[in-house]
Chains A and B, each alone.
Chain A
Amino acid sequence: MRTVPARYGTAALLAVAAGLLWTAPALSQETVVVRAKLIQGEVPADPMAPIWSTIQATEFPLSPQVHWQKRIGAVTVKSVKVRGVHNNKQISFLVEYADPTRDPADAAALEFMVGDKKAHFAHGQPMGQVEGGPVNIWYWRNDAPSAVDMSAQGFGTLKKQAQQDVQAKGVWKDEKTTIKFKERKQSLRKDPKGELVKDPKTGDPVVDEETKVVEQEVSGVWRVVFTRALTTTDKEDVQIQTGTFPNIAFAVWDGKKLESGDLKESGSQKAISSWWYINAEPPPDYSIYLYGLVAVVLAAGVEFVIIRKVKKGQSA
């Protein structure tokens, strides 16, 4: 009986083990989730609290609101940086964005789905083939004495809730910040003689488009903190359970007064995002280490029994 092949068996087993380890999931960069870090003590209600500088921000691009009337073609705020912390009772979100002017009508809002049904990001408007749910909107405006806790399920249904659970505070600083946004430049293509080049199929002038991400330094930053209990007794509120991934959307208004007397952005004319996610970090669960240890002991026990059995068989 040959005994050498066991060496090859070893190599094969090691190869399979290496393959298994190769499949371990890689860590990925955060882009779509606001991670609300679990902290000890009170959550910060102050936008300038030092703890915010220790929390990683997630940046979300914003679009001009073009989904429903009354639309807007361009907006001041191109993106928001959002941070979150919670202490198992209260949760705070810091929304930070560049706005060159501090205006009384400057405003920002967070929007959440309420309940188990999906809700459209545009105020929970009805969907044709899906029964949607309502949304909960946390609204802050610079000249308002307090935040407003609102609900909506369709256009024209936005209302202030009877039970107000949200607090908010905004601070504007005339400091420099760098914003990143996509810049698009279009130009009509010309031939070496300076004549417009036309598409041979359609006869239309050919348009060249250049898109690049631009970093621009601007003055003026709003920092707005929204604070609320993770869960409330109000059925119209979003209930945030730790470890889950509720949806969140953002809206910002530049309340600058134009020469005409109108506000630059107000009502449905605003910068918006569609749905992203938040995740309130769950408290550490040490039982998973215990279960892992139990699995190690069980596997080692099974291994021991098998080897003993094999050895007995060989000596018999």
Chain B
Amino acid sequence: MRGPSLAVKGGILLAAVFAVLKFVLPLFTAPLPMSLIWLYLFLATVGIVVYGTLSGESTEQLMGPIFRFLSGEGLNGVARYARLAVLVLFPLLVGWETYSGLVPNTQPPAENRTIHPAPPGEFVGLSNPVPNTPENVMMGKGLYAAFCSPCHGAKFNGNGAASDGFNPPPANFSDPGTIAMLQESYLFWRIKKGGVGLSVEGHPWKSAMPRWEVELPDDWIWKIIMAEYAGAGQKPRTWE
């Protein structure tokens, strides 16, 4: 007994590819955009068509059921109603897609903000000139409490009392995705130049981070950096 025709296998394959990309993949990684899913489905379709048209027999296996479905030849019962439904739904789907493409966008523009944009060259690879002694760390913690904790929080978690109104919120230093993956020189740049020192991909117009260079001397900033790492239980990234 022969198995399902090539058209059926192709249909099942496309449905499986769609299901994997749309529902299974997001369980392991970031969801794929629909545009990329469509591209993969298109490539899979091209593959099926190329494979299915290699010979006259395979072409019949691929196209035959589709042609018969479209013409209605030999269909009865549920299949007849399904054909009718598909023939009605297809134009409606095209109409819906056209409408959705033209309808005014009611969502604000996507904010593709880079959280850690590249620092200017003069801030790359600087080493902390202040010795990492308990006294300096202690002084850094005092400075942090006075200048940084209102936003970044007493527990270095970005949960300061002044953090609620800002978009984006202050950085959470206890998160391994923030200072733990940055060098001290990067923090020096961010503290010294503040939010307004960010490059365009960092959306500087939104950042509430003060430009501390106008108020704090450099050695205070280096001490604050030591305190942030110590307080958050993190270590700065080093040169590999």
Contacts and interface: CB of A to CB of B under 8 A. Distances in A.
Interface in B66-93: 66-71, 73-75, 78-79, 82-83, 85-87, 89-93
A9 B63 CA distance: 11
A207 B155 contact: yes
A35 to B, nearest CB: 9
A129 interface: yes
B108 A9 contact: no
Contact of B82 (A14, A285, A292, A297): A14
B102 interface: yes
Nearest to A307: B70
Contacts of A66: 150-151, 162, 208, 210
B206 interface: yes
Nearest to B106: A279
**Interface residues of B toward A: which range?**
35 or more
A74 to B, nearest CB: 7
B52 interface: no
A8 B5 contact: yes
Given A5-B4, A296-B92, A184 B161 contact: yes
B99 A19 contact: no
Contacts of A132: 205
Contact of B164 (A121, A128, A182): A182
Contacts, number: 235
Interface in B172-213: 193, 195-200, 203-210
B28 to A, nearest CB: 19
A294 B94 CA distance: 10
Interface in B132-166: 141, 150-151, 153-155, 157, 159, 161-166
Given A19-B19, A275-B205, A10 B73 contact: no
Interface residues of A, number: 89
A11 to B, nearest CB: 8
Interface in A192-207: 201-202, 204, 207
A243 B104 contact: yes
B54 interface: no
Interface string A77-91: 010000000000000
B227 to A, nearest CB: 10
Contacts of B4: 5, 8
B167 interface: yes
Interface string A8-25: 111111111101101100
B56 to A, nearest CB: 13
A126 B5 contact: no
25 contacts: A3-B68, A5-B64, A6-B75, A6-B79, A7-B82, A9-B5, A9-B65, A10-B86, A13-B11, A13-B86, A15-B15, A17-B86, A17-B89, A66-B208, A120-B195, A121-B206, A121-B208, A126-B196, A127-B196, A130-B198, A181-B164, A201-B233, A296-B92, A314-B67, A314-B68
What 6 A-B pairs have minimum CB-CB distances, sorted nearest first?
A12-B11, A63-B165, A296-B95, A292-B99, A295-B98, A8-B8
